[in-house]
């Protein structure tokens, strides 16, 4: 598996975890746990975008 594929897999895992956390906690999107999960997902997406822009 390439580095990009691994990162994309991580993005998907983080996305699912964030959705599950939001469902569990309700609509409190200001919750510190939800914010941390969202920031982790955002960081992974940013890294993925950097990687694919180098390939193109």
Q: Please report the pLDDT score of residue 54 as a whole number.
A: 85
Contacts of 17 (CB under 8 A, 6+ apart): 37
Question: DSSP H helical segments within the chain, as ranges?
Answer: 3-25, 32-55
DSSP state of 27: S
Q: What is the dihedral of CA 45, 51, 53, 2, to 10 degrees?
A: -110
Averaged pLDDT in 10-residue chunks for the chain of 56 residues: 93 97 86 95 96 84
Handedness of CA 11, 17, 21, 23 (dihedral sign): positive
What are the domain boundaries of the chain?
3-55
Single pTM value for the model: 0.87
Distance of alpha carbon 32 from alpha carbon 14, whole angstroms: 16
């Amino acid at each position: 598996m390439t580095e990009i594929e691994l990162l994309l897999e991580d993005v998907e895992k983080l996305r699912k975890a964030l959705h599950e956390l939001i469902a569990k906690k309700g609509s409190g999107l200001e919750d510190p746990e939800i914010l941390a999960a969202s920031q982790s997902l955002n960081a992974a997406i940013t890294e993925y975008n950097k990687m694919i822009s180098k390939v193109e």
